[in-house]
Amino acid sequence: MKTAPALAAALALSAAAVLGAAAPASPASSASPAADPLERFHRQPLAWSPCQEPQLAAAGAECAALTVPLDYREPRGRTLSLAVSRIRSADPAKRCGILQTNPGGPGERGLDMPAALREQLAPGTAAAYDLVGMDPRGVGAGGPDCGLTRGTWLRSTGTGQAGFEQAWRLAKADADACWSKYPDLLPHLTTRNTARDVDVLRAALGEQRTSFFGQSYGAMLGAVYAQLFPRRVDRLVLDSALDPARYGVGAFQDMGGVNERALDDFAAWAAPRDAAHHLGATPAAVRSTVEGLVRRAEAAPIAVDGYRLDGALLPVLLAVFQSDDRDSAEYADALRQLLDAADGRPVQAGPALHQLLTMLLAPGPEAGAGLSSTVAIVCDDVAMPRSAAWYRDAVEHSRATEPVFGPVYNGPVPCASWRGAPLEPPVEVRNAVPALQLHATGDTHAPYQGALALHTRLPGSRLVTVPGRVHTLTLNGYSPCANAAVDTYLSTGALPASDTVC
């Protein structure tokens, strides 16, 4: 298990599967340069120099700072400086233009993305583009640091009233900490504005059109960009996108059901291997073991590796482990270690379990800053229910079919206590821009039914379906077939003739 990326995906996406929809494109997006209120941003010179980040430096990338307006309604007002990166085309004779990228989140840095993507693309495909990355507004340097000490707002409310009240207090404290410190900045840290920043970068690079590769939240950002600037899109790859009609609490709730099904899938894998892991000889017995462990952690935190893992965070840890079906053996080992620790036996946690425990229970200042960015972007993108009773009822309604994960994905969120309202109304993502969609059928962070829904809203798209349980495909190396589809499309511009299954 690549635990750090896996946990980052789980904690950022699962806790922030709420995306801002695009607002209608402003007249400036199609106006002549002379009438363009964003002209000074579109024509800004970028001062490139070698990147300092190790992965980018090793790839020969160059970095610069992009200036964008804080508020696109007032382009003469306050500005933001965003870090951007570029790996130039290695084959100028076959250059296809620029390929902008976003790795997901929200709240995740994007500067290193060109180097990571280049490693997965075929050499000829990568060489045909200037690969471009960007730290989105609100992320990295200049982003809000609310002083949060947690790495995620995700937690189970458990079975009692006390667990729900604690989850509500913590979520409200996160919201209050951010809003009290950054009231002028926060309202503008939205997906809509990040899409506009993508277009400013396109223009500053001197390109009439841009290609875009986004995964997870980044795929939704790509869909939003295509809605705002359809004439600026060249080739668009959407890897593991969310359903644009479900962002908000609906997107969270969708994750509860798919995680319960993932647990059932894991139980079916583990049952025939009971001799090795001792989790149960039938799928029902394995599920019973897991549910019993959660109840035990709620009654008395499990002491392991110097940490105390309670029933609020144990289900979050389980969701990370089961997000990739290639990690089933590590998942089973971690469960066995936790069961032994709960029984009072001396346990040495394996590397994967140790790293996840550390990131959940001792996340450090970088994780707190990342959560600050996530909270800011999510809560400014879309309004959420404000009543504690609404979340309490949602949790109770979920218990019958989602006993482990319902109390996680239906519980209180910081946005319930957010002091502001979105500055712009959401707009349905629906356009005919050609796009290549990739999605795994068992994705626990962006459920497959969302990919199907997005596909209907993008009639110019083709969907490549990959059987299996994983979130994001291209950078994961999960499916050579899916990666080949990406290479073919980016190299030729030709989409598959029809939807395909790898």
Which has more pLDDT, 142 or 300? 300
Judged against a pLDDT cut of 90, whether residue 418 lies above it is answered with yes
CATH of segment(s) 10-143+184-248+425-501: 3.40.50.1820
Contact 188, 77 (CB under 8 A): no
Q: According to the model, what pLDDT value does residue 34 have?
A: 53
Amino acid, single-letter form, for residue 239: D
pLDDT category at 247 given cuts 50, 70, 90 is: confident
Query: Over the range 124-138, which residues count as b (16 or more CB within 10 Å of their CB) and which as e?
Result: ebbbbbbbbbbbbbb
Encode pLDDT of 300-348 as tens digits.
999 999 999 999 999 999 999 999 999 999 999 999 999 999 999 999 9
CB count within 10 Å of CB 25 equals: 18
Judged against a pLDDT cut of 70, whether residue 385 lies above it is answered with yes
Judged against a pLDDT cut of 90, whether residue 97 lies above it is answered with yes
Please name the residue that has the structure tokens 């200036």. Answer: 67
Task: List the chain domain ranges.
Answer: 10-143+184-248+425-501
pLDDT category at 16 given cuts 50, 70, 90 is: very low
Q: Which of 169, 140, 136 is nearest to 19 (CA)?
A: 136
Over residues 55-71, the mean pLDDT reads 97
Over residues 387-394, the mean pLDDT reads 97
Encode pLDDT of 200-238 as tens digits.
999 999 999 999 999 999 999 999 999 999 999 999 999
Judged against a pLDDT cut of 90, whether residue 245 lies above it is answered with no
Half-sphere exposure of residue 239, counting CA atoms within 13 Å on the CB side? 24
- DSSP bridge partners of 82: 66
Would you give the end-to-end CA distance of the chain in angstroms?
23
pLDDT category at 388 given cuts 50, 70, 90 is: very high
Q: According to the model, what pLDDT value does residue 243 have?
A: 86
Over residues 75-81, the mean pLDDT reads 96
Judged against a pLDDT cut of 50, whether residue 5 lies above it is answered with no
Contacts of 74 (CB under 8 A, 6+ apart): none
- SS3 state at 502: coil
Judged against a pLDDT cut of 90, whether residue 77 lies above it is answered with yes
Q: According to the model, what pLDDT value does residue 177 have?
A: 96
Q: According to the model, what pLDDT value does residue 11 have?
A: 55
pLDDT category at 365 given cuts 50, 70, 90 is: confident
pLDDT category at 244 given cuts 50, 70, 90 is: confident
pLDDT category at 1 given cuts 50, 70, 90 is: low
Phi and psi angles of residue 111, each rounded to the nearest 5 degrees, phi first: -65, -40
The burial class, CB within 10 Å (0-12 / 13-18 / 19+), for 480 is exposed
Encode pLDDT of 469-489 as tens digits.
999 999 999 999 999 999 999
- DSSP bridge partners of 456: none
pTM exceeds 0.85 for this model = yes
Q: According to the model, what pLDDT value does residue 8 have?
A: 47
Over residues 122-139, the mean pLDDT reads 97
Which has more pLDDT, 13 or 71? 71
Please name the residue that has the structure tokens 């019993």. Answer: 292
Q: Which of 267, 275, 278, 272 is nearest to 340 (CA)?
A: 278
Segment 424-428 long-range contacts (CB within 8 Å, at least 24 positions apart): 424/20, 424/23, 424/190, 424/192, 425/23, 426/20, 426/21, 426/247, 426/382, 427/21, 427/22, 427/23, 427/24, 427/227, 428/21, 428/244, 428/245, 428/457
Q: According to the model, what pLDDT value does residue 29 have?
A: 41
Phi and psi angles of residue 500, each rounded to the nearest 5 degrees, phi first: -135, 160
Measured distance CA(183)–CA(1) in Å, rounded: 39
C-alpha separations of 68 from 100, 104, 138, 486 in Å: 17, 21, 12, 31
Q: According to the model, what pLDDT value does residue 405 have?
A: 98
| Summary count for the chain: helices (H), strands (E) | 19, 12
pLDDT category at 426 given cuts 50, 70, 90 is: confident
Query: Token digits for 159?
Result: 């079975």
**Residue 412 CA to chain centroid, in angstroms?**
19
- To the nearest 10°, the Cα dihedral for 376, 226, 69, 373? 20
Residue-averaged pLDDT of the chain: 92
Half-sphere exposure of residue 332, counting CA atoms within 13 Å on the CB side? 22
Q: Which of 102, 98, 433, 382 is nearest to 241 (CA)?
A: 102
Q: According to the model, what pLDDT value does residue 20 have?
A: 31
Q: According to the model, what pLDDT value does residue 25 have?
A: 35
Query: Token digits for 47?
Result: 């001062």
Q: According to the model, what pLDDT value does residue 17 have?
A: 40
DSSP string of 325-350?
Answer: GGGHHHHHHHHHHHHHHHTT------
Over residues 286-312, the mean pLDDT reads 97
Query: Token digits for 473?
Result: 């495909």
